[in-house]
Structure 1
Amino acid sequence: MAGKKLFVLLICLLLGMHTIYAQQTTDAQYKKPLKDVLDQIQEKYHVKIKYSPAQVKDKWINYAEWRFRPDVDTTLDNVLAPLDLKVNKEGPGMYKLKEYEYYRWPVADGWKELDRIALQYHDKDSWEARKAILRPQLYKALELSPLPAKPATKPIITTKRIFDGYTVENIAIEILPGLYINGSLYKPSKIKGKIPVILSPDGHWPQQRYRADCQIRCATLARMGAMAYSYDLFAWGESLLQFKYEDHRRSLAQTIQTLGAIRILDYVLSLKETDPSRVGISGGSGGGSHTVLMAAMDDRIKLSAPVVAVSSYFYGGCPCESGMPIHQCGGGTDNVELAAMAAPHPQLLISDGQDWTAHMPEHDFPYLKKMYGYYGVGNSVENVHLPTEGHDFGPSKRFPLYEFVAKNFHLNINAIKDKSGKIDESKVTIEKEPAMYVFGDKGEKLPADAIKGFDQLQKVFAAATKN
């Protein structure tokens, strides 16, 4: 009997859905399946919209045809915005359905927001007051106020490898009980007195610190006379021994990466050869967002160089860049204002023509020049814009970085140039990935008490930050 009633109920529901679709009235909210609406838009406006079945499954549009307008772009906005969907225009009459990107604004909107933010200060004193508000709020937004206690353990350091003009050691630093951040420290073969150190977080490119271009960059900096510390993002590289790749997409990733960089700074500043007045950081893409945040938060950093990263209309497309509410600090901020917090320390921004940094010279960089001008050092912030290039950390991005570091940290740029005066990276040895592991080829050397899994990390983090 119960089965018969259920069957009748299902039939009624199906008939009801049919009625909703067949009879478009206010009683049914003029409701249509999203797939049907998209097909209708394609036919009406003679366009093509790419989408997958999963993107439209079980999605409905209320007052569907009431949202139509004479132009297709406004129609698509009206239809998709309530579902947190949007389209990217791939060409004339060609669109692709995407999730709403909270982190990407129209260019004009980003500029307008930066202008609104900038109305809050007009000279050095008012800007310093703004910084005094922002910095503690950044720590609080990241749940790092106060900072958790630093484990008393010593770093785990592998055997030193010796190359032409530089050496490499792999290092794991325990930043919370059982949680390690792994990296490789490149040093000049011969060290005399105090020398600079450059933190080198990479972006979301495959292989990250194992990549050839990352090895080349760090080794070349070492051959110039600086130390370079390349390290993994959270749930990336050797961090995958402790976590799943998907864990990188959790908001806590941003907090853990920030804490990791703070502990790396603690370590490199404890080395007898480190010059604390010459500590820098340079990363690309997501590593560039991390670079900006660290330079804003930690005054121990005296030089920064975010590469293909900074924009007033792009807040970072990964939770490791915008997962925690840092951009709500101070009544609202963005990555360009955060970059300004590095002033008066030297800063190089490298931008290109094929990503969200394409408009850097037009609006965002003039703002930064003005901010550095408050300190009388307008020339201490520089922009290398490559309008015909794309999103990478290739030679055209690395070479200006070497020149910038050499100029501001007083290094010998000629040490990496050939007889014709051109920068020569050919003396760098590209190592195979396992050579850069701290914990063995198969992770067999991972400490027995190491955290395993995100759930355990949350418990350890909660205990470490309990007030």
Structure 2
Amino acid sequence: MIQKLIFFICSLVVCIHSFSQTSDEAYREPLKQVLTEIEQQYGIQIKYKDTMVSNRWVTYARWRFRTDVEKTLENVLASQDLSFTKLGDKRYKLNTYKYHLKTVEEGKAQLEYLSSLYHDVASWENRKAAMRACMYSALQLSPMPAAPASKPIVTPVRKMDGYTVENIAFEVLPGVYTCGSLYRPAKIKGKVPVILCPDGHWDKHRYRADCQYRCATLARMGCIAISYDLFAWGESMLQFKYEDHQHSLAMTVQTLGAFRILDYLLQLKEADTSRVAISGGSGGGNHTILMAALDDRIKLSAPVVSLSSYHSGGCPCESGMPVHFCGGGTNNAELAAMAAPHPQLVISDGKDWTATVPEIEFPYLKKMYGYYGKQELVENVHLPEEDHDFGINKRIALYEFIGKYFHCDMKAVKDQAGKIDESKVTIEPQTALYVFGEHGEKLPVNAIHGFDKLKAIFEVKK
């Protein structure tokens, strides 16, 4: 009886307050108060941090209420760039709005709409040309910034079994450096393929064992392979803070860094400019899609655990610049189609946003490659029981695909049973992969420090 009385009193207080607001005040109420009203009216609990709701107001608050609690939450939270997750029976949690996510159905519908905009090679090439020009502008790379006159900084060569490693830093903008590790075949005869190996946001990034396995094995196959840092990750953190990776310019600097790296590698006398590839995983996979769409020098691409029509990449380095607004709105599946008709391998798994690739994104890519009569040049290796990583099965698929199209020496990386063997790769400690020393003591004197100085470079450019 006491509980019913308390509920009645609370409801009466809410009701009285609601009546105190009229259209003259746009029925305006504090968000926190509105959430309390929802909890009381529907008998639920909503979990959130006060910082998420403080100083926020909802206009026409009570007009957003419906008989269904989740529809009510959608109506209220949509006005605040917030969303919710159901935790259990009558329990909910507030989330910040995930701008990069659609539903699977929305992604599929967008692909169907995009497909209606072109019907042959000519109409597709027209859209692709317009898209590419827009993408360069969206990235603030039109015109392209002038390249610094400095030469790359290279560490002494380390000799391994069938390959060598040297660390290298490129000045991509005045005082802004991108560092990486360059893997080459121990013996080079004639021209050899060049492979860019960007990586995602996994722990330890390019220092991880699976990244070293991948680059070293590609080198043992006869390729020049390079891994390189994300902006404000790895040695880039000698100049910038980790939080700076959350700025939209991260997308621009990473793209520019890849251009500069290609510029350097393709002028090497041993580089085969007809055999240039890029393959990265997760955020590096979205970087792969972007670079293959922008740069015709890339002749093969292999995005790993990244391709999706409904997930554009939640990090600013993947979607921070308005690239996805080009062409009246696009998604990563259409951007991947811009690589056609060059060979493309899409590696997907069953436990992340690439789970739909076999049913949604891959059929779309097959159709796009079909415009060129080249459907066989796009492949999908789907691993339904695997997770979001760049594990051995994903690497094997990559080796075989590159080996097939770039005519690499696969015998050099296979055992007597004909299986890929990575056991001859030396996994080095993280410090061995540094360009600028264990404590950054070799960082060039002209290196800038702080995001504001990077931002100033682009402001001058404007």
TM-score tier by shorter-chain length is: over 0.9
Superposed CA deviations along residues 317-346 of structure 1, whole A, max 9, x for unmatched, are 011111111111122221111100000000
Aligned to 2:18: 24
CA contact (8 A) 1:21 1:31 kept: no
Q: Are 1:340 and 2:334 counterparts?
A: no
Determine the C-alpha separation between the residues in 1 that align with 2:430 and 2:15.
57
State the shift of 1:30 in Å: 5.0
- From the superposition, tell whether residues 139 and 397 of structure 1 become closer, same or farther in structure 2 (CA, over 3 Å): same
Q: Structure 2: state its 5+ residue gaps.
A: 1-12
Partner residue of 2:184 out of 182, 187, 191: 187
- The aligned residue for residue 270 of structure 2 is 273
1:351 counterpart (348, 364, 372):
348
Which residue number corresponds to residue 326 of structure 1?
Answer: 323
2:86, 2:46 → 1: CA distance? 9
Residue 49 of structure 1: CA displacement?
A: 3.6
- Superimposed CA distance per residue, residues 160-191 of structure 1 (whole angstroms, 9 cap, x where no aligned partner): 11111111000001111111111000111111
1:145 deviation in Å? Answer: 1.1
Residue 276 of structure 1: SS of its match in structure 2?
Answer: strand
Which residue type is aligned with residue 152 of structure 1?
A
User: Contact 2:167 / 2:435 at 8 angstroms: preserved in 1?
Assistant: yes
CA distance in 1, matches of 2:262, 2:203: 25
Give the 3-state SS of the residue equivalent to 1:121 in structure 2. Answer: coil
Distance 1:350 1:430 in 2: 24
Q: Which amino acid aligns with 2:405?
A: N
Alpha-carbon distance, 1:244 to partner: 1.0
Aligned ranges 1:166-181 → 2 under 5 Å: 166-181=163-178
Q: Is the 8 A contact 1:105 1:314 kept in 2?
A: yes
1:159 to 151, 156, 161: 156
Deviation at 1:22, TM superposition (A): 4.9
Q: CA separation in 1, counterparts of 2:89 and 2:256?
A: 46
1:119 pairs, out of 116, 119, 139, with 116
Q: Identity, % of aligned pairs?
A: 64
Match of 1:415 in 2: 412
Q: Which of 199, 219, 222 is the aligned partner of 2:219?
A: 222
SS of 1:272's equivalent in the other structure is coil
Aligned to 1:23, the other structure's residue is in SS state: helix
Contact 1:164–1:428 (CA<8 Å) still a contact in 2?
A: yes
1:63-462 alignment runs, 5 A limit = 63-90=60-87, 94-462=91-459
Residue 403 of structure 1, CA deviation:
0.9
Q: Find the residue that maps to 2:93 and give its secondary structure.
A: strand
Structure 1, unaligned runs of 5 or more: 1-18
Aligned mates of 2:423, 2:67 — CA distance in 1? 58
Give the letter aligned to residue 128 of structure 1: E
Q: CA deviation at 1:304?
A: 0.4
Deviations 1:347-406 (A, max 9, x none): 011112222111111111111000001111101111111222221111121111111111
What is the CA-CA distance between 1:20 and the residue it aligns to? 9.0
| Residue-by-residue CA offset, 1:207-257 (whole Å, 9 max, x unaligned) | 111111111111111111111110001111100111111111111111111
CA contact (8 A) 1:24 1:31 kept: no
Q: Distance in 1 between matches of 2:91 and 2:181?
A: 45
Cα distance in 1 for partners of 2:326, 2:30 equals 39
Q: Secondary structure at the match of 1:238?
A: helix
> Mean alpha-carbon deviation: is it higher for 111-120 or for 289-298?
111-120
Between the aligned partners of 1:353 and 1:46, the Cα distance in structure 2 is 36
Provide closer, same or farther for how the CA distance between residues 225 and 90 of structure 1 changes in structure 2, counting only shifts above 3 A: farther
Determine the C-alpha separation between the residues in 1 that align with 2:119 and 2:315.
Answer: 33
- Decide whether the 8 Å contact of 1:20 with 1:30 is kept in 2: no
**Equivalence for 2:7:** none
- The alpha carbon displacement at 1:421 in A equals 2.4
Q: Secondary structure at the match of 1:83?
A: coil
Compute the displacement of 1:461 (Å): 3.1
TM value normalised by structure 2: 0.92
Q: TM-score, normalised by structure 1?
A: 0.91
Higher mean displacement: 415-424 or 340-349: 415-424
Contact 2:293 2:335 in 1 (8 A): yes
How many Å apart are 1:316 and its aligned residue?
A: 1.2
Deviation at 1:105, TM superposition (A): 0.6
- Mapped to 1, the partners of 2:89 and 2:119 lie a distance apart of 44
SS in 2 for 1:263: helix
Q: Secondary structure at the match of 1:389?
A: coil
State the secondary structure of the residue aligned to 2:79: helix
Distance across 2 between alignment mates of 1:79 and 1:195: 58
